[in-house]
């Protein structure tokens, strides 16, 4: 077997290389940490091609909480040493600082390079294949999921045989969790996500971004054609009831049409409104008698409509909302005052509190600009990742 030096590997960096990584965590939300790490590896290291099942096993060599462990196969153009430096940086981003003097201890995230093509490297910084892989059940078991016939370049045995011969008999159990290779795979587990918010909160913009990035059917509220809306902003007491009834009829028709028709070429649906907003706005704008009548009609319709898997409410403070409304320049909105927006915010928050069984999340965007700042958009996606994962497991 040819023993490759690091210098030799650098000569073939134009090619794709197969790297097998072992991931482990026994602190905090272990599953969420592993899933975030997979996404980070896919973004920074290379394409995640295979992901093992997730296994649970006791800590080895020290007293600590049980670990969750998994293995990945990644296609990367990085040389082994560059790969090592990058995964160490990912570990640090998850709160892990390696210190050889500390020995074994609990950790938020542990990433090890197990194999890299068929090369053999041994120096002060890196050793491949990992010198302890054949002695660790929690490495070999998930590795056998994704590379059962892969031959160890030194021991000349495949992973299945190494697992059978491993002297480590510590208990290892396949967990209920599943790791997703890509965020789009995770988002595809949804059927329907509703993004709600106050006037000018950014719900339509975010819905469009998510639909484009994750192959979702986009459901947008058609409100600009409502003839009563400009009149309502001029004389609310006169036009409130016809406006709300008109909105309700339009929303119900559109919502049932759009959400009942699945697009076979799309992964899920994302909407910039949920039909319950009709009741929220009606409660603010209508007189008591009008609202009671309106609610009877609404309750009948609401039973028939599709409910979202995730209800995301975008919160913006009143000053920011007024600023956004001014920027988008819709003439009939320019007379909206802050007290009206505050009532809408309270209405949405009351709705969320009164529906504890709904999978709701509130996201404060008051200090964020997800349109112009990609890191803010990534923060939103990470929080959605967590919400989807919690709903799945």
371: region left, alpha or beta (phi > 0 left; psi from -120 to 50 alpha) = alpha
Pick the closest to residue 247 from 282, 296, 200 (CA basis): 282
Residues 6+ apart with CB under 8 A from 378: none
User: Using CA atoms in the order 369, 370, 374, 375, what is the torsion angle rounded to 10 degrees?
Assistant: 70
Q: Tell how far CA 279 is from the center of its chain.
A: 30
Separation of alpha carbons 127 and 266, rounded Å: 44
Find out whether the peptide bond into 129 is cis, omega within 30 degrees of 0: yes
Q: Which of 110, 112, 272, 274 is catalytic?
A: 272
Pick the closest to residue 152 from 137, 142, 163 (CA basis): 163
Angle between helices 288-302 and 277-285 (to 10 degrees): 170
Separation of alpha carbons 388 and 182, rounded Å: 13
Separation of alpha carbons 56 and 15, rounded Å: 35
Q: Is 272 an annotated catalytic residue?
A: yes
Q: Exposed e or buried b for every residue in 212-228, given b needs 16+ CB within 10 A? A: eebebbbbbbeeeeeeb
> Which positions are annotated as active-site residues?
272
């Amino acid at each position: 077997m040819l023993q490759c030096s690091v210098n030799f590997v650098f000569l073939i960096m134009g090619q794709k290389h197969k790297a097998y990584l072992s991931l482990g965590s026994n602190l905090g939300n272990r599953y969420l940490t592993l899933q975030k790490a997979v996404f980070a590896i896919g973004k920074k290291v290379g394409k995640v091609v295979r992901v093992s099942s997730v296994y649970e096993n006791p800590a080895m060599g020290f007293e600590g909480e049980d670990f969750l462990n998994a293995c990945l196969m990644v296609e990367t153009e990085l040389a082994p040493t560059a790969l090592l430096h990058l995964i160490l940086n990912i570990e640090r981003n998850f709160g892990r600082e390696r210190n050889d003097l500390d020995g074994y201890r609990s950790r938020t995230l542990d990433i090890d390079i197990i194999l890299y093509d068929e090369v053999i490297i041994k120096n002060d910084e890196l050793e491949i294949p990992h010198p302890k892989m054949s002695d660790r059940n929690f490495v070999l078991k998930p590795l056998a999921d994704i590379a059962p016939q892969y031959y160890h370049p030194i021991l000349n045995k495949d992973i299945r045989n190494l697992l059978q011969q491993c002297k480590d008999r510590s208990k290892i159990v396949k967990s209920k969790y599943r790791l997703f290779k890509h965020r789009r795979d995770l988002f595809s587990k949804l059927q329907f996500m509703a993004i709600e918010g106050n006037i000018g909160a950014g719900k339509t913009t975010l819905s469009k971004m998510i639909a484009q990035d994750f192959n979702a059917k986009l459901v947008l509220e058609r409100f600009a054609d409502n003839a009563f809306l400009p009149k309502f902003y001029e004389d609310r007491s006169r036009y409130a009831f016809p406006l709300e009834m008109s909105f309700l009829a339009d929303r119900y028709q559109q919502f049932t049409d759009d959400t009942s028709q699945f697009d076979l070429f799309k992964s899920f649906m994302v909407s910039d409104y949920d039909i319950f907003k009709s009741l929220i706005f009606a409660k603010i704008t209508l007189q008591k008698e009008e609202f009671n009548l309106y609610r009877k009609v609404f309750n009948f319709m609401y039973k028939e409509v599709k409910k979202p898997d995730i209800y995301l409410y975008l919160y913006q403070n009143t000053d920011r909302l007024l600023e956004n409304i001014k920027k988008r320049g819709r003439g009939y909105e320019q007379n909206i005052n802050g007290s009206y927006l505050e009532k809408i915010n309270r209405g949405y928050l009351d709705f969320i509190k009164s529906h504890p069984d709904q999978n709701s999340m509130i996201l404060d965007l008051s200090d964020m600009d997800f349109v112009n700042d990609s890191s803010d958009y990534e923060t939103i996606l990470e929080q959605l990742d967590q919400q989807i994962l919690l709903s799945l497991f």
